[in-house]
Chain A
Amino acid sequence: VQLLESGGGLVQPGGSLRLSCAASAFSFSSYAMTWVRQAPGRGLEWVSAISGGSGTFYADSVRGRFTISRDNSRNTVYLEMNSLRGEDTAVYYCAKKARYSWGPGSMDVWGQGTTVTVSS
């Protein structure tokens, strides 16, 4: 069971970036997926989630700027990030939720993360 993030990089304030998270060795369409970020030297912050049925959920800090989506045919979840700010600089992790719908429970599989740096 594996998650592999990609798409991070350096972007200017106000710019956009799309992160991808490719899943393998589990029935991807059967589980909710989520993104969690960690700013340098800081704690974890939940960012967004998508249920197996593609219902979407966002933290207040990113709502209206970030869009989560999934392509079950590609076993991939995406995070489209627009209007990026310095405070969005972080390692972004994707994680699998141990359930189909978004709700409480374990985030039981995590990727290794991809780094996003927002700076001019």
Chain B
Amino acid sequence: QTVVTQEPTLSVSPGGTVTLTCGLRSGSVSTNYYPSWYQQIPGQAPRNLIYNTYTRSSGVPDRFSGSILGDKAALTITGAQADDESDYFCVLYMNTFEVFGGGTKLTVL
């Protein structure tokens, strides 16, 4: 079972806002886990969007933002576009391990 949890699927309307979350099967996610977010278009390599909870990677549009919401890390996409349809993975840094979540498949429709 995956220690790091994500919604398997989410959908958003074009122009809408969606929040993807990243939790722990046991416990709360905090900035101490330095959550990062990666976008992966099927058949392509992942691309880093957010690291260290809030920081956007170079060239990432500001419609992507990272935060902590309650006991989870969150990736919010504001003003979703068709090419945001993709798989999204969070990863937590835990005692020298990078632990990926199972991923969220985001549909824009």
**B89 A106 Cβ-Cβ under 8 A:** no
CA distance A57 to B93 in the complex (A): 13
The answer to whether the Cβ of B100 comes within 8 Å of any Cβ in the partner chain is: yes
* Residues 66-109 of chain B, each 1 if its beta carbon lies under 8 Å from chain A, else 0: 00000000000000000000000101010011111111000000
Query: Which of A65-73, A74-82, A108-116 forms part of the interface with chain B?
Result: A108-116
CA distance A102 to B46 in the complex (A): 19
The answer to whether the Cβ of B26 comes within 8 Å of any Cβ in the partner chain is: no
Cβ-closest chain B residue relative to A107: B48
CA distance A46 to B90 in the complex (A): 12
The answer to whether the Cβ of B47 comes within 8 Å of any Cβ in the partner chain is: yes
**B100 A46 Cβ-Cβ under 8 A:** yes
* Residues 39-61 of chain B, each 1 if its beta carbon lies under 8 Å from chain A, else 0: 01000111110011001011000
Specify which of A95, A107, A113 lies most central, judged by the most chain B CB atoms within 10 Å of its CB.
A107
Q: Which of A106, A110, A112 contacts B51, CB < 8 Å?
A: A106
* Residues 32-49 of chain A, each 1 if its beta carbon lies under 8 Å from chain B, else 0: 001010000001111001
**A104 B48 Cβ-Cβ under 8 A:** no
Question: Interface size on A (CB < 8 Å)?
Answer: 23
CA distance A49 to B84 in the complex (A): 29
Q: Which of A43, A46, A110 contacts B97, CB < 8 Å?
A: A46
CA distance A106 to B100 in the complex (A): 13
Known contacts A43-B89, A43-B102; A106 and B48 CB within 8 A of each other:
yes
Q: Which of B34, B48, B58, B100 contacts A43, CB < 8 Å?
A: B100
The residues of A with any CB-CB pair to B shorter than 8 Å are 34, 36, 43-46, 49, 57, 59, 93, 95, 98, 102-108, 110-113
Other than A105-B34, A107-B36, give 8 A-B pairs with Cβ distance below 8 A.
A43-B100, A43-B101, A49-B98, A59-B97, A104-B51, A106-B52, A108-B57, A108-B58
